[in-house]
Homo-oligomer: A and B are copies of this chain.
Amino acid sequence: MSDSCVMLTLADLCSFLKKRDNYLVLTHASPDGDTLGSAYALKLGLKKLGKKVQVICCDEIPHKYDYFIFDHDCDFAPDTVVAVDVADIKLLGNIYSQFENRIDLNIDHHISNTKYAKRLYLDGNAAACAECVYEILDELGVEIDRDIANALYTGVSTDTGCFKYANVTARTHEIAARLYEVGVDAADINRKMFDTKSKSRMELEMMVLGAAEFHFDDRCMLLSVTSEMQQKTGCTGSELEGVAAMSRSVEGVLVGISLKQTGDTTFKISLRTYEPLDASAICKSLGGGGHKAAAGCTIEGDLAFAKEQILTAVKKALEEADAGSDTTE
């Protein structure tokens, strides 16, 4: 944490943005819809105020976001560095060291924010960072046009599972309503973001589900994504996202486990739980962490060992939960 991180109000932030120019906007590594939507909406909005802005991400931007990626005028020397939707400077990826102590402004919605920037605008109630950017552009008096709306909607929609998750609030829907009023291409965006998968992804899902295991009276589903499956289908990187959600999608399942092989003897475990189970506590016992409903850890060993480790921890948690409900009922 920087000693000198100044927390900004919305008004402070807007007066800062008006004063400065020549912006470099940074997104987090492995960019998702929210970091990109927030960065490009901010860029398009600041450009309407006559500012120069470029966006940088250390990783390649997936083509599915092309509809709001406008990369014009990068011919200027940036002097104000802004990180959006980046809770920790290390999430900038391999470019992070060159920006250490050099982030002028951080706009974020993660309450876990490490306050690494000189100034921070944080709205922990926002479901998406794009909600914050909407408020900022609104406060700046920028007219939200369709391009900006598409970028903002992408952020809001992807970070909420299309308004499905518990982070959604009345404000989230109110912002969506405003974006519809300026002609956001929501149905097209949602189709790209949620309803289109590659053929290789479909093949991978079939392999993964074909090898699904059910444990502890079907209260636990375990999915493995082995290196072999990734090689056979050619499905890698961001295409592997969402397997963790699949592990909790079957009726009666309280704990979804997914194991993703990331090295010969390395498995990244994602855990998804429903009440009363605490994914974070289970993963902590294996050196990981996270939130109550979603957490993760890494296990070194072969697949059988990784499964045994996580299943033992889950079994213990289920037994404790059973014992707890016995005494209260």
Contact = CB atoms under 8 A, between A and B. Distances in A.
B170 A187 contact: no
> How many copies of this protein are present in the complex?
2
A197 interface: yes
A210 interface: yes
A207 B45 CA distance: 48
Contacts of A210: 206
A164 B214 CA distance: 31
A45 to B, nearest CB: 20
Interface stretch (A174-182, A279-287, A305-313): A174-182
A249 interface: yes
B176 A163 contact: yes
A173 interface: yes
A153 to B, nearest CB: 11
A164 B187 contact: yes
Given A162-B162, A187-B164, A250 B199 contact: yes
A210 to B, nearest CB: 6
Which interface class (under 10, 10 to 19, 20 to 34, 35 or more) fits A?
35 or more
B166 A187 contact: yes
Contacts of A205: 209
A199 B218 contact: yes
A4 interface: no
A327 B2 CA distance: 62
A227 interface: no
27 contacts: A161-B190, A162-B162, A162-B163, A163-B163, A164-B187, A164-B190, A164-B191, A165-B187, A166-B187, A168-B186, A170-B177, A170-B180, A171-B177, A173-B173, A173-B177, A174-B177, A177-B177, A195-B248, A195-B249, A196-B249, A196-B250, A197-B249, A197-B250, A199-B218, A199-B250, A199-B252, A202-B212
Given A163-B176, A195-B249, A202-B249, 7 more contacts: A162-B162, A163-B186, A165-B190, A173-B176, A173-B177, A199-B218, A199-B252
